[in-house]
Amino acid sequence: MTDKGEYKRDLNYLPDRITADGRDGWPVEPGRYRLVVARACPWANRAVIVRRLLGLEPVLSMGIAGPVHDERSWSFDLDPDGRDPVLGIERLQEAFFKRDPDYPRGITVPAFVDIPSGKVVTNDFARMTLDMSTEWTAYHREGAPELYPEKLRDEIDDVAQKVFTDVNNAVYQCGFARSQEAYEHSYRKLFARLDWLSERLADQRYLVGDTITEADVRLFTTLVRFDAVYHGHFKCNRQKLAELPVLWAYTRDLFQTPGFGDTIDFAQIKEHYYVVHKNVNPTGIVPLGPDVSGWLTPHDREQLGGRPFGDGTPPGPPPAEERVPAL
């Protein structure tokens, strides 16, 4: 938090990478690593979607923490006996402390954990999804899309940075602001960028090029949570997503695309934000709304052309143990 009451996100993460050549000591190996996520978290949701789209489920297992955590970190309270069945731990904190007993920063998801040692490899969420696209190619499913094509990387990076600064992070800056000035600055920044995105997407189906890319994944995980939590809980209330015609249709288009909506659990999303953020919602009461049936209504974005998976194909259904409740 700055002296002006502005929320400042700590972006210092464990920088190690899992790569094809293993240059950081962590080579890509099927079955060696576990992706730890929480359905509620938008940053973790990115990794869940990319793993699904690329078909990495057979070689990269996934542990799912519950939606509510305390100061000691995310816990595996959804699993039998409250332990991750592969890592054998109750809290993600244990894997961070195996890596560094004096680990001084937040315990965050997503995280890659080395199963043999039980140590966290990295929690650098931005790099993790890019590496899944570029370093795990030997294990991508047949028909996997190119989410980070080399010829579009500069544009993807530029759009993704704008989205991070003015949308992904700005909703938190609105919600956690400690002064009226800080809140209003973040609010204006957020909606100016949403207006910019609406203009950009008015005549093109996806953010960069004519297929789904990393940029779309990064925007989707914030927009899909907008009406459920950010509009009310974080006071991002100029309009609901459902009142922004282009972005509402764009997000529904992605939601109805295999690999996106089938990773979303609105109940866990709402429980996390409204229960954990006691400074924003002291009562811990979780709202019953909004009505989610609109997510399955026609979006008509096909008229703009575009090919969701390029020359590839949609992913198959998620493994039974990873399915979310249907709307």
Catalytic residue among 13, 103, 139, 172: 172
- Residues contributing to the annotated binding site: 74
- Residues contributing to the annotated binding site for glutathione: 74
Catalytic residue among 33, 41, 206, 250: 41
Main-chain phi, psi angles of 251, to 5 degrees: -70, -35
Known catalytic residue at 187: no
Known catalytic residue at 274: no
As a three-state string, the secondary structure of the chain is CCCCCCCCCCCCCCCCCCECCCCCCCECCCCCEEEEEECCCHHHHHHHHHHHHHCCCCCCEEEEECCCCECCECECCCCHHHCCCCCCCCECHHHHHHHCCCCCCCCCCCEEEECCCCEEEECCHHHHHHHHHHCCHHHCCCCCCCCCCHHHHHHHHHHHHHHHHHHHCHHHHHHCCCCHHHHHHHHHHHHHHHHHHHHHHCCCCCCCCCCCCHHHHHHHHHHCCHHHHHCCCCCCCCCCHHHCHHHHHHHHHHHCCCCCHHHCCHHHHHHHHHHHCCCCCCCCCCCCCCCCHHHHCCCCHHHHCCCCCCCCCCCCCCCHHHCCCCC
Known catalytic residues?
41, 172
